[in-house]
Amino acid sequence: MIQWKPEYAIGIDIIDEQHKKLFDIAEEAHDLLNLPNSVDKFDEILHIVQELKDYVAFHFTEEEKILKEIEYKKFFTHCIYHNDFIIELRNFNLEDIDEGQDEHILQLLYMVNNWLIAHVTKEDVIWAKVYKEKKNIV
């Protein structure tokens, strides 16, 4: 099960809420995985992938505005991490979903879970610290 945990919070409410939304989308995929194999999940998979693509684009735009605002020194590197994930989502194989639907859901969950947790806990916490210092937030 993929779900938000308090230890993923970076301490910037608007970004934490957006991260929670990304976990919620992943949870939709997890719920879909738990449906019986006899259920056709094709349309739901496409919906979740599109929702994830749309929300990731929105979230990255919002996060990058904050990074520019604080003149984050690793801004371009951070944007590359974002772009790499967008490319990974874009390259998610949608053509073979009818065959092995659960396998595709698992691949999506694995990709999102690994990237999201690693990025939030390793990269976002760094810029969040800079943000808090510049904004005098304890």
What is the torsional sign of CA 41, 45, 46, 48?
A: positive
Please report the domains of the chain, with CATH numbers, ordered by start residue: 12-32+41-133 (1.20.120.50)
d(CA 109, CA 102): 10
Per the CB < 8 A criterion, the answer to whether 67 and 10 are in contact is no
CB burial class (10 A; 0-12, 13-18, 19+) of residue 18? middle
* Per-residue pLDDT reduced to its tens digit, 32-45: 988 887 788 999 99
Task: Name 113's Cβ contacts closer than 8 Å, sequence gap at least 6.
Answer: 2, 26
Cα separations in angstroms, 101 against 6, 17, 96: 31, 30, 8
Span 64-107, pLDDT tens digits? 999 999 999 999 999 999 999 999 999 988 777 878 888 989 99
Three-state secondary structure call for residue 35: coil
Give pLDDT, residue 50. 94
> What is the mean pLDDT of the segment spanning 107-127?
93
